[in-house]
């Protein structure tokens, strides 16, 4: 019997589920809950019921959640202490000299996750050459007593140059773990990389979210065990899954878990779009935000320079640009009379006004209902009925406030402003990085993405949009397709001209062996090697793939080519090796899926407002669209999890796998 796999992604408004059973893909949406595990269990039960199977027959469960990012955004993580080298307790507060708003004299940096009263100093010292002053064990034990008396819930340790010589930090961590009952995050374990501020910040974030992740994963594991479902495997920010015990020990790797799953799912299901000259732009619009990323040459773009709420998190992650424009984003009028969207969201409770749960502010979803893109009789997620009158009421109020001519004009304005916000995000990952968006295909998914994607593509002169099957729950599908991934990094800073290849080989060998002892199947694991390099004097690095055995000349050539690709030139300067990186991948194949849409696809028509005018627009049921059939716009295609809006001058063809390919007519 084929393995039955289930993936569950928790979003701000809905919890999405995909279940692969005997070649069939079953999907479900349920409202997200305050205790995320309740929504997860409800989603699993709903999907299994629709598939006609018992939860006990599920053989694999993969999961993406928002626990860590919510803790950072809402600043309600653990009560954390920081133990630092003497003289460096304030590194979190000092940060970098750059300001988020260069010309704002009143700009403020975010409040440190660890207040000064819970930051402690240890009179140890290491340099890049070795240990200069051994850690005083009695001093560490005295600090442990202070931490215990302060009712601290987690501890971060970040000693100066511990990435190069972690002996003091290892000993201090061992003492604190022996003396205390709270989790301890040590920087040499979280991020063995130079730059004190970023390393300390990342370690503090790990400690700050670790208790919440541990509680949530433990609770979810218990509930799934009671349901008969296997232990969850968790999506990491790097686009790979890992076991629950690993994320308990490396909580920082779970930030942006859900968005990363979406990009992986888009890459897996939009296969026919990868023949675009420049690759794919992935566009995920959910209830509270929109996420944009790039896929080039079939590979998801990665970065190690992320931040959440202006706090640096230097861990490998899918390179995603996020804007506060989702289906639940609230429309408002600023002091100058301009219409704005987000970042505030109505969330799942009370949600948009049209949900009928008490929402009183206009949202993007309300605007889409007034425009006719969502039908008044539509039930979101297959079960949430809409209150059309409530949507008209809040859009009428917005029109009065903005001086617009009625709810329809207000709805048009909300739709245009939301699209403008998302268009800027796409430009930031294409034009601002030297890529021409016209050479890319756009992959649209998320509960609201396909309603906006084609208008956005039109404004960017993108002529091809791919809307995969299960587009409304594609992040959940990405969990079924994601490989198992683990990463490790170590700073090894030398001029390439002075590098000893044997030393570099030893670093790579040690990192690879460390990861291979942790993977689920060592024989199936592929190992990739990379290096961060820069020209002498630069303050940033570029990552390039490396072949082993390490060859300095080859590494230099790869860096020069990467620098020219990114910045348009090569420099006649010495090249420095900064970091050695290793990633192990255990491949997991996406489940085979069948599609055989049949029946009469058109279910009726309704008036929908497009840029030119209001059209009597045919409405189709997505699951009934036959393979290789086509539709001319304007049209609306409704699915269980999302609605696709096809403007005039665009046409749709149905691919064999059920994906919709939307193209400019006669382009």
- Over residues 120-169, the pLDDT tens digits come to 999 999 999 999 999 999 999 999 999 999 999 999 999 999 999 999 99
DSSP 561-593: HHHHHHHS---SS-EEEEEEEEEEEE--PPPP-
317: helix, coil or strand? strand
Q: Which structure tokens are listed for 546?
A: 């490396």
- Percent share of the chain, pLDDT over 70: 97
pLDDT tens figures, 598-642: 778 999 999 999 988 999 999 999 989 999 999 998 999 998 778
Q: Exposed (0-12), middle (13-18) or buried (19+): which is 222, by Cβ within 10 Å?
A: exposed
pLDDT for residue 36 is more than 80: yes
Task: Please tell me the distance from the alpha carbon of residue 536 to that of residue 318, in angstroms, as a whole number.
Answer: 28
Which residue carries 């440190």 as its tokens? 112
Fold of 484-586: Dna Ligase; domain 1 (3.30.1490)
Per CATH, the homologous superfamily of domain 5-72+214-235 is ATPase, nucleotide binding domain (3.30.420.40)
Looking at residue 275, its pLDDT comes to: 44
Say if residues 314 and 198 touch (Cβ distance below 8 Å). yes
pLDDT mean across residues, the chain: 91
Which of these, 304, 376, 396, 420, lies nearest to 636 by C-alpha position? 376
pLDDT value at residue 384: 61
Q: pTM (2 decimals)? A: 0.86
pLDDT digits (tens, 9 = 90+) for 522-566: 999 999 999 999 999 998 899 999 999 999 999 999 999 999 988
Looking at the DSSP assignment, which residues form a beta bridge with residue 299?
296
Full DSSP string of 375-431? -TT-EETTTEE--HHHHHHHHHHHHHHHT-SHHHHHHHHHHHHHHHHHHHHHHHHTG
Identify the pLDDT of residue 632: 94
Tens of pLDDT, residue by residue over 360-389, are 999 999 999 999 999 877 655 555 678 899
Domain positions in the chain? 5-72+214-235, 75-210, 484-586, 602-664
Per-residue confidence (pLDDT) for residue 502, from 0 to 100: 95
What are the structure tokens assigned to 84, written together? 């630092």
- Whole-number pLDDT of residue 53: 94
DSSP conformation letters of 51-85 = HT--GGG--EEEEE--HHHHHHHHT----EEEEEE
* Domain spanning 75-210, CATH architecture: 3-Layer(aba) Sandwich (3.40)
Q: Are 85 and 121 in contact (CB under 8 A)?
A: yes
Binned at pLDDT 50, 70 and 90, residue 357 comes out as confident
75-210 and 484-586 have identical folds? no
Rounded CA separation 554/580 (Å):
15
pLDDT in tens, 517-533: 999 899 999 999 999 99
Is the pLDDT at 276 greater than 50? The verdict is: no
């Amino acid at each position: 019997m084929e393995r039955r796999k289930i993936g569950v992604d928790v979003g701000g408004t809905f919890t999405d589920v995909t279940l692969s059973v005997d070649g069939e893909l079953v999907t479900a949406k349920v409202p997200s809950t305050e205790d995320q595990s309740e929504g997860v269990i409800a989603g699993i039960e709903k999907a299994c019921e629709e598939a006609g199977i018992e939860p006990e027959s599920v053989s694999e469960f993969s999961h993406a959640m928002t626990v860590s990012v919510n803790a950072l955004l809402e600043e309600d993580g653990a009560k954390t202490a920081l133990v630092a080298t003497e003289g460096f307790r304030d590194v979190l507060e000092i940060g970098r000299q750059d300001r988020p708003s260069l010309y704002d004299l009143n700009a403020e940096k975010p409040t440190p996750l660890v207040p000064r009263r819970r930051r402690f100093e240890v009179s140890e010292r290491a340099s890049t050459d070795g240990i200069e002053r051994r850690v005083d064990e009695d001093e560490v034990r005295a600090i442990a007593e202070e931490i215990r008396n302060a009712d601290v819930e987690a501890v971060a340790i970040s000693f100066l140059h511990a990435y190069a010589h972690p002996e003091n930090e290892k000993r201090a961590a061992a003492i604190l773990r022996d003396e205390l009952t709270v989790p301890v995050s040590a920087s040499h374990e979280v991020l063995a990389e130079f730059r004190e501020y970023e390393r300390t910040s990342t370690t503090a974030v790990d400690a700050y979210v670790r208790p919440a992740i541990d509680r949530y994963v433990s609770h979810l594991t218990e509930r799934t065990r009671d349901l008969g479902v296997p232990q969850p495997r968790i999506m990491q920010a790097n686009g790979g899954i890992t076991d629950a015990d690993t994320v308990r020990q490396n909580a920082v790797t779970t930030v942006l878990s859900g968005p990363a799953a979406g990009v992986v799912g888009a890459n897996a299901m939009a296969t026919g779009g990868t023949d675009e000259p420049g690759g794919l732009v992935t566009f995920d619009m959910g209830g509270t935000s929109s996420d944009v990323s790039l896929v080039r040459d079939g590979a998801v773009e990665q970065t190690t320079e992320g931040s959440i709420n202006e706090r640096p998190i230097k861990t490998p992650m899918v390179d995603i640009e996020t804007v506060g424009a989702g289906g639940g984003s609230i429309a408002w009028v600023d002091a100058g009379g301009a219409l704005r969207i987000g970042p505030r969201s109505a969330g799942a409770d009370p949600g948009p006004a049209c949900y009928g749960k008490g929402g009183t502010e206009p949202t993007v979803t309300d605007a889409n209902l007034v425009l006719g893109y969502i039908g008044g009789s539509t039930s979101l997620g297959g079960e949430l009925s809409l209150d059309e009158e409530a949507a008209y009421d809040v859009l009428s109020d917005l029109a009065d406030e903005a001086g617009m001519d009625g709810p329809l004009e207000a709805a048009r304005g909300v739709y245009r402003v939301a699209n403008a916000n998302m268009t800027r995000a796409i430009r930031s990952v294409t034009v601002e990085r030297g890529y021409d968006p016209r050479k890319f295909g756009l992959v649209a998914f998320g509960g609201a993405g396909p309603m906006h994607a084609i208008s956005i593509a039109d404004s960017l002169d993108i002529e091809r949009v791919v809307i995969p099957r299960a587009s409304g729950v594609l992040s959940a599908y990405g969990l079924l397709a994601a490989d198992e991934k683990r990463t490790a990094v170590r700073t090894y800073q030398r001029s390439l001209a002075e590098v000893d290849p044997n030393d570099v080989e030893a670093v790579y060998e040690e990192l690879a062996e460390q990861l291979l002892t942790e993977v689920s199947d060592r024989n199936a694991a592929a190992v990739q090697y990379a290096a961060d390099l820069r020209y002498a004097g630069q303050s940033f690095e570029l990552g390039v793939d490396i072949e082993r055995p390490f060859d300095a000349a080859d590494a230099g050539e790869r860096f020069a080519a990467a620098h020219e690709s990114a910045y348009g030139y090569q420099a006649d300067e010495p090249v420095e090796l900064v970091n050695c990186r290793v990633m192990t991948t255990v491949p997991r194949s996406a489940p085979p899926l069948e599609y055989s849409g049949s029946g009469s696809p058109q279910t009726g028509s309704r008036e929908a407002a497009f840029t030119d005018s209001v059209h009597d627009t045919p409405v189709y049921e997505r699951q009934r669209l036959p393979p290789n059939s086509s539709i001319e716009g304007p049209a609306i295609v409704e699915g269980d999890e999302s609605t696709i809006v096809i403007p005039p001058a665009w046409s749709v063809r149905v691919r064999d796998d059920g994906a919709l390919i939307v193209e400019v007519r006669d382009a």
